[in-house]
Each structure stands twice: as C-alpha cells, then as structure tokens.
C-alpha cells in the first residue's frame, strides 16, 4: 500500500495522460470500469464517476453536465400610441358619436405594451451527473473535493465557451482523481 499521497503537478493532468497516479489509473480503469453502465464495486464506480466528470469538462465544456435556467420576466410600459389611456385617437373621425370609445389598436385598449425579457438564472447540474455527485459525496473520503467540483460547475463566471482550461480549472478535476486514486489504492474494495 502507498504511504505518501501524490498530487498531480500544475501543467499536468489525467486528460493529458500524465496525472500523478496515471499508470495505476489506466490499469484500474481498464480492470474495474465496464464499457457501459455502472461499476460493480465502489472503487470502480469512484473511478468511473471522476473520469466522467473529467471527460465532460475537457471534451464538452460541461455542456451536458450543467444547464442554465432560463428566467422569463414580463415587463410593461405605457403605450406610446394612446399614452396609457387605452383609447384610440378619434378626434379626426366625424362618423363617431361623441361618447363612443374605440380601443387603441396598438395595445388592444390596455394602455400598456407588454414584453418578455429572458436572462440566464441559476446553473444546475443535470440529473445524470447529479447522481454521480451523490455517489462521490457518499463514498469519497475527501468529499470536500466533491463540494469544490460542484462549486466550480455552478460558478456563473465560467461555463460552456468560457472555460480557460487553466491549471486552476484543471486542478479541480486533478485533485478529485488524485483523491479517488489514493483511496482506491489504500482501502479495500467492496461490491456495491
């Protein structure tokens, strides 16, 4: 068993096949992670989940893992045709009785124009990836790294098309895989 915990150096990553536990990771991934579906053991599922998150971030920019809630907000403003009265201007129409009211055609007599504005609201992790977050949270000893992952994925300042894939961003995923690998190499495996 390993006694010293390894950490992937800045500038390296499991995506580039040079993570701190790369050799062990590759061997155990092939041995414990099935081509489809969940793994049968805790170690295999830890590796599978961490690998899925790394792949989704590096290959897809988290577009399948993170959705942004679209928020719709209805606003109104005074009608520019009737100035909020709701009545059409009939001063030039000689065929109307003096007390006859015609609704403004522009606002249908409401006196207001309504428009809908959309903007991005909260980010949330999709169901498929939420299930993996749950598994990691319940089974990874250093589950604060799962909290770091969730915080990163929910950060509104980054996201699809805005990731830099910097050492700091990659570090979120490298630390997760380093922790998974250290746990897998230093604990007994159990069936799920």
Predicted confidence band at 117 (pLDDT cuts at 50, 70, 90)? low
- pLDDT of 161 reads 86
Global confidence as pTM: 0.74
With the C-alpha atoms ordered 8, 47, 50, 4, is the resulting torsion angle positive or negative?
A: negative
Structural domain boundaries in the chain: 22-65+126-186, 69-122
User: What is the model's pLDDT at position 97?
Assistant: 62
**CA dist list (Å): 28 to 1, 119, 127:** 15, 44, 26
Q: For residue range 165-189, list pLDDT tens digits in order.
A: 999 999 999 999 999 999 999 999 9
């Amino acid at each position: 068993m390993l006694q010293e915990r390894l950490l992937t150096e800045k500038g390296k990553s499991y995506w580039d096949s040079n993570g701190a536990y790369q050799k062990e990771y590759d061997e155990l991934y092939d041995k414990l992670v099935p081509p489809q579906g969940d793994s049968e053991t805790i170690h295999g599922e830890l590796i599978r989940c961490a690998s899925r998150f790394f792949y989704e971030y590096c290959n897809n920019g988290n577009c399948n893992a993170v959705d942004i809630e679209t928020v719709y907000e209805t606003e109104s403003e005074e009608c520019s045709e009737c100035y909020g009265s709701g009545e059409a201007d009939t001063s030039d129409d000689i065929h109307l009785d003096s007390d006859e009211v015609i609704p403004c055609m522009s606002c249908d007599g409401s006196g207001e124009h309504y428009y809908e504005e959309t903007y991005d609201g909260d980010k949330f992790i999709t169901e498929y990836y939420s299930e993996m977050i749950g598994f990691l949270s319940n089974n990874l000893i250093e589950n604060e790294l799962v909290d770091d992952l969730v915080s990163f994925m929910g950060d509104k300042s980054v996201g699809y098309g805005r990731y830099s894939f910097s050492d700091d961003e990659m570090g979120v995923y490298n630390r997760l895989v380093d922790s998974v690998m250290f746990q897998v190499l230093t604990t007994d495996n159990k069936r799920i």
